[in-house]
Structure 1
Amino acid sequence: MSISDAKVDVVKDLKSEDAKWVKIQKVFYKDPNGKARDWEFASRQTRVEGSELDGVGILAILEKPTGPEVLLQRQFRPPVNGVVIEFPAGLLDKNETAEQCAERELLEETGYIGKAFSSSPIAFCDPGFCNTNLKLVQVSIDLNDPRNVNPKQQLEDGEFIENFTVPLKEFPEKLEALVSAGYILDARVQNIAAGIIVARKYSL
C-alpha cells in the first residue's frame, strides 16, 4: 500500500451549516471610491478564540555534516486529488505560541525534536479566497541529539504522511524533479525555492 494509491471517489456540494472545519461567507464593503460591493470567501471554524493566528508551517532544517537538508512531506490532499509536497504544518492549540505549535507538530508528524529559531510575520495563504493564515516557523533539528536518531511519527487516525529530506543547496532543482515525477507543490514550498533562486541570482 502506497500513499499514491489514495484517490477521490466523489465530490459533492456542501452547505456551510453542514461543514465542520470551514464556512462560506459574504462580506459587504465599500471600495476606495465609496461604491458598495460584496465578496464571497471561505473561513476556518478552528481558530483558537482570542487568537489572530490559525496555525504554522514549519521550515525544518536537519543539520548534517554534508550540509543542511530541508525536511519535506508527501501527503495526499483530497481537494487537489493528488500527492502534495509540503512542509510539516499544523493548527494552533489554546494557550500555545507559534513556536510551541511548530515544535509540537514537528514531533507529532515526523518524530523529530527541533528548536524554533525564527518566525515570519502572519501571512495569509490566499487572501482573495479565504482568511486562513499562518506563521512560517524555522526550526533546526540537531542530529547529534540521541532522541533524533530513530524518529517515530505520532500520527492521528486518518493521517498518512511520508517524510523525506532534500539538500538545501539543491532545493529548487529537487522540487522541479518532483513535479516532473507527478507530484503537486504546496505554494509555501515553491516560494522558498523561488527565494533561493533570487538569492543565487543576486549573490545574496
Structure 2
Amino acid sequence: MASSNKSKILKTEPLDNKDAKWATLVKTTYTDPEGVERTWESGERLTRPKGSDIDGVGVVAILQDPAKPDDAPRVLLQKQWRPPVNATVIEVPAGLIDPKESAETCAIRELKEETGYIGKVVDGGFGVSPVMFNDPGFCNTNLRMIHLTVDMSDPANRNPQPELEDNEFIETFSVPLKDLWAECRRFEQEGYAIDARVGTLAEGVEVARRWKLV
C-alpha cells in the first residue's frame, strides 16, 4: 500500500453549491433571546439517509484476547491523509451510515471494511453513545460512537484483510489504551494531526487516571 504521506494538494478553489456532492454551505436566519434577527453561516451534509438521525459512526474498537486476561487492552487506530487539513490524521475507524442501517450494523461493517477485524458491540448499554455533534458552531454533522470488542483469539481476527475502496489509503495499528494520551502527544510532535474523537477518548482516559475515577 502506498504511504498516505505521499499525498499532496494540487490546488484549492471555491466550490459552487450546485456542484457539491457531500456538503454545502447554508445561511440561517434566526432570532436571538432578545428578539434580534441574526444570520449564521454553516456547513450542511448532503449524505444523511432519509429517516436517519445521524450521518455516520465512529468506532472505538478494543483488542482483547480472552486467553490472556492480564494483557493490557489495546485500542485500534488508523493513519489517513485528509485533504482539508493537509496532514495525515490519527483516527478511529469511522464511516457514513447506509439507508435503513442501524448504528451498530454500520460500525461492524465499517470496522470490517477498513481494518479486516470482526467486532462485537459492547453489552450493558455502553455499546452506543448519545448522538454527538462534531463542530455544531460550523456544521450539522453528527454521529454516534460505537464501542466494540475484537476477540483476538478468533481465527478470523488473526490475519485481518481490509476491503478498502480505491480512494482509501488507510494504515491500521493499535496502541495500549492506557497510553493513548502520551501516544497522541508523540504523534503531534511527529507532525500528525489528531482527530477530535481520538483526542477526546485519550483525554477521558487520562482524566480518569489522574482523578482516580476507576
TM category (shorter chain) comes to over 0.9
AA aligned to 1:173 is A
Who is 2:6 aligned against?
A: 5
Who is 1:178 aligned against?
A: 187
Who is 1:166 aligned against?
A: 175
Preserved contact between residue 57 and residue 106 of structure 2 (Cα < 8 Å)? yes
Q: CA deviation at 1:197?
A: 1.5
AA aligned to 2:146 is V
AA aligned to 2:61 is A
Who is 2:153 aligned against?
A: 144
**CA-to-aligned-CA distance 1:138-157 (integer Å, 9 cap, x gap):** 11000111110100000011
Who is 2:50 aligned against?
A: 49
Task: Tell me the percent identity.
Answer: 51
AA aligned to 1:22 is A
AA aligned to 1:53 is I
Gaps of 5+ in 1: none
**CA-to-aligned-CA distance 1:144-176 (integer Å, 9 cap, x gap):** 111101000000111000000000111111111
Q: Which runs of 4+ in 1 moved over 2 A?
A: none
Distance 2:154 2:204 in 1: 30
Instruction: Find the residue that maps to 1:130 and give its secondary structure.
Output: coil
Instruction: Find the residue that maps to 1:79 and give its secondary structure.
Output: helix
Aligned length: 204
AA aligned to 1:162 is E
Q: CA deviation at 1:3?
A: 1.5
AA aligned to 1:71 is L
AA aligned to 1:180 is Q
Who is 2:166 aligned against?
A: 157
Preserved contact between residue 27 and residue 39 of structure 2 (Cα < 8 Å)? yes
**CA-to-aligned-CA distance 1:161-202 (integer Å, 9 cap, x gap):** 000000011111111111111100001100011111111121
Preserved contact between residue 23 and residue 44 of structure 2 (Cα < 8 Å)? yes
**Superposition pairs of residues 29-178 of structure 1, within 5 angstroms:** 29-64=30-65, 65=68, 66-117=71-122, 118-178=127-187
Distance 1:36 1:175 in 2: 42
**CA-to-aligned-CA distance 1:92-128 (integer Å, 9 cap, x gap):** 1111110110000000000000011211100000000
Give the TM-score taking structure 2 as reference length: 0.93
